[in-house]
Amino acid sequence: MIQLDVDLPDHPGELAKILGILAGEAINIDAMSANSGAGHSYVSLITDQPIKARQSLAKAGYECAQRTVIVISVPDTPGGFAALARKLGDAGVDIQSVVHLEVMGDHVQLAIGVDNLDAARGLV
């Protein structure tokens, strides 16, 4: 799965601009996380057409980074993700991003970006 990371100015309407660009290209957003601070907003997107999304945003002047993320399922209980995060950390794998995808019964699906995909895949 590909995650796009977009850095944009922290101004009213900036998120609406990028969402409008994607909508105009008929690109669906499957999952998203966003936060802002120190004058910038940082948006992580998982779309149904990541290559087209990146090209469309770049054409509009937005810097986009992309990363391959792995989808994991953890128990939807307090500490459910903590155990896996600890296991990854103990193995020296740095979690760089987390996007909540959906709740499926008693589990939650997350897309996580890590600094070492191979090591993470061997642990999840």
Looking at the chain, how many residues does it have?
124
Residues 102 and 62 in one domain: no
Residues 53 and 83 in one domain: no
pLDDT reading at 38 higher than 90: no
- Euclidean distance between the first and the last CA atom of the chain, given in angstroms as a whole number: 16
Residue range 60-104, pLDDT digits in tens: 999 999 999 999 999 999 999 999 999 999 999 999 999 999 999
The b-or-e profile of 2-37 (16+ CB within 10 A means b, else e) is bbbbbebeeeeebbeebeebbeeeebeeebbbeeee
Q: Domain total for the chain?
A: 2
Structural domain including 9 reads: 2-66
Residues 6+ apart with CB under 8 A from 25: 49, 52, 53, 56
Q: What is the CA radius of gyration of the chain?
A: 16
Residues 7 and 49 in one domain: yes
Residues 80 and 113 in one domain: yes
